């Protein structure tokens, strides 16, 4: 039996409380040793077996902690991750991986020199809807894909008060909040694009942050064009499909987000991985719809099929982190993936500012 990897989760806001502590606790081989919560007792009540620390320094000095999870305000991700790596700890960094590609590159190189793992928390690769899109593409259900559209919309017409997320910092705003999810999913599906064209905006009447964006990634796959559109708006009162795929044989449309986050917000408990207890399945009413023309010579005759949503499971992210640290598996989301995403987000700002399409040269 391998020794458990001790984990310290830094921050117990939405990220630490919903996306990190529950899944670390549910993965055999990881042990939630500590939670850094500067004030309050919510973490102690939720995880009485974990030590509650009041500073990052305490976690970095703790020999029982081998892995530090950074789930703090965006502008602190880089300095805290750098501090943890310099202390000899493996690190998971909630999105964004860093506030700039220069910072991201510094973390990549520091981890390499130290022989440590630094892992971007691109957990949306383990969303059920994204796993379903992977299956639809793998099966060739829509034929040759020509357009891919990914939305992550909200309706928040007035800024929230007293939150760092609405503060006018380049590390904040929708581009660096939801953009990492959408861009990373495109990279996971299609690789590095050839071009990027973007509009990054402030659409609300009053806002200090970028609250909307449209990013188009241009690909040449097998000699043919594929356009991947990533879109977010804070003024989506009636949300668009989460995914919309058009191909030479048909289309796939899926509404709604993976149910894991809302379930945890409302008090659901994540069962231990491998216990036999199932984690969430999406209700049938939310399944996507595949529309195809069985005979492309008769495009007016269409057939619709419901497509069962794959079971999403963020435990898979942390199981891979465990296995990568132990040398039992390749790291699924690499530090280089984190750098590429941040660099593309920077290029999206540049494209929007200059009003032109940019070549992507990594």
Residue 205 sits in the same domain as residue 277: yes
- The pLDDT of residue 101 is 97
Q: 203 with 168, same domain? A: yes
Asked if 321 and 268 sit in the same domain, the reply is: no
331 lies in some domain = no
Per-residue pLDDT at 14 = 92
- Does the pLDDT value for residue 65 go beyond 90? yes
Give the model's pLDDT for residue 296.
Answer: 83
Helix H or strand E segment including 7: strand 5-10
Q: Is the pLDDT of residue 1 over 80?
A: no
Alpha-carbon dihedral angle through residues 94, 95, 97, 100, given to the nearest 10 degrees:
-140
Q: What is the arithmetic mean of pLDDT over 268-283? A: 87
Are residues 113 and 67 part of one domain? yes
Task: Reply yes or no on whether the pLDDT at 256 is more than 90.
Answer: yes
Average pLDDT, the chain: 95
User: Is position 300 within any domain?
Assistant: yes
Query: Which CATH number fits the domain that encloses residue 97?
Result: 3.40.50.720
Residues 303 and 268 in one domain: yes
Res 265 pLDDT > 70: yes
Q: 55: Cβ–Cβ under 8 A, 6 or more apart, which residues?
A: 36, 38
* Cα–Cα distances in angstroms (integers) from residue 87 to residues 60, 61, 90, 91, in the given order: 6, 8, 9, 11
Structure tokens belonging to residue 197: 């064209």
Domain count, the chain: 2
- Please say if the pLDDT value at position 2 is more than 80: no
Residue 336 lies in a domain: no
pLDDT digits (tens, 9 = 90+) for 183-239: 999 999 999 999 999 999 999 999 999 999 999 999 999 899 999 999 999 999 998
Residue 340 lies in a domain: no
Q: Tell me, yes or no, whether 106 and 205 share the same domain.
A: no
- Where residue 281 sits, what CATH number does that domain have? 3.30.360.10
Q: Could you identify the residue written with the tokens 């590609």? A: 101
* Residue-level pLDDT at 267: 87
Together in a domain, 301 and 321: no
Whether residue 109 is found in the same domain as residue 257:
no
From 22-31, 205-214, 296-305, the region with the lowest mean pLDDT: 296-305
Read off φ and ψ for residue 264, nearest 5 degrees.
-70, -40
- At CB < 8 A and 24+ separation, what contacts does 110-117 make? 110/82, 110/85, 110/86, 111/85, 111/335, 112/335, 114/85, 114/86, 114/88, 116/85, 116/88, 116/89, 116/90, 116/91, 117/90, 117/91, 117/321, 117/324, 117/325, 117/331, 117/335
Residue 55's domain comprises 5-123+316-325
For residues 198 and 248, membership in a common domain is answered with yes
**Residue 100 sits in the same domain as residue 134:** no
**Phi, psi torsion values for 204, nearest 5 degrees:** -70, 160
226 lies in some domain: yes
Share of the chain above pLDDT 70, in %: 99
Query: pLDDT class for 362, splitting at 50, 70, 90?
Result: confident
> Does 361 reside within a domain?
no
Region 83-88: what's the mean pLDDT?
A: 98
């Amino acid at each position: 039996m391998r020794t458990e990897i001790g984990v310290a989760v830094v921050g117990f806001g939405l990220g630490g409380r919903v996306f990190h502590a529950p899944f670390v606790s549910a993965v055999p081989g990881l042990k939630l040793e500590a939670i850094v919560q500067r004030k309050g007792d919510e973490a102690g009540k939720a995880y009485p077996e974990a030590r509650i620390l009041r500073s990052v320094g305490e976690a970095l000095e703790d020999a029982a902690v081998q892995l530090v999870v950074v789930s703090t305000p965006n502008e602190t991700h880089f300095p805290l991750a750098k501090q943890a790596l310099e202390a000899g700890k493996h690190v998971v960094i909630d999105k964004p991986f860093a506030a700039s590609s220069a910072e991201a590159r510094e973390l990549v190189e520091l981890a390499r020199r130290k022989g440590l793992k630094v892992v971007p928390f691109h957990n949306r690769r383990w969303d059920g809807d994204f796993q379903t899109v992977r299956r639809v593409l793998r099966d060739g259900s829509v034929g040759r894909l020509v357009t891919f559209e990914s939305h992550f919309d909200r309706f928040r017409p007035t800024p929230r008060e007293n939150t760092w997320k609405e503060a006018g910092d380049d590390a904040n705003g929708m581009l660096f909040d939801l953009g990492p999810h959408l861009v990373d999913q495109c990279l996971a599906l299609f690789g590095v694009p050839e071009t990027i064209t973007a509009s990054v905006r402030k659409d609300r009447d009053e806002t200090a942050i970028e609250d909307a964006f449209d990013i188009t990634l241009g690909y040449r796959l097998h000699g043919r064009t594929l356009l991947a559109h990533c879109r977010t708006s804070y003024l989506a009162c009636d949300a668009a499909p989460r995914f919309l795929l058009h191909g030479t044989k048909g289309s796939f449309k899926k509404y709604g987000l993976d149910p894991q986050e809302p379930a945890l917000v409302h008090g659901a408990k994540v069962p231990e991985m491998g216990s036999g207890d199932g984690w969430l399945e999406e209700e049938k009413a939310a399944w996507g719809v595949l529309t195809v023309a069985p005979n492309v010579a008769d495009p007016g005759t269409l057939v619709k099929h419901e497509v069962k949503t794959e079971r999403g499971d963020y435990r898979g992210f942390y199981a891979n982190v465990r296995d990568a640290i132990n040398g039992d598996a390749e790291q699924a989301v690499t530090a280089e993936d984190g750098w590429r995403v941040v660099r593309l987000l920077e290029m999206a700002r540049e494209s929007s500012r200059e009003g032109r399409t940019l070549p992507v040269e990594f």
